[in-house]
Amino acid sequence: MYELLSNIPKGEVTTYGDIAQILKIPNGSRGIARILNKNPTPILIPCHRVVQSNGLLGGYAYGWHIKKELLKMEGIKINQDGFIENFERIRFKF
**Is 36 a catalytic site residue?**
no
Q: Which one of 47, 71, 76, 90 is the catalytic residue?
A: 47
* Spatial distance between the Cα atoms of 50 and 72, rounded to a whole number of angstroms: 14
Read off φ and ψ for residue 62, nearest 5 degrees.
-100, 10
Q: Which residues are catalytic?
A: 47
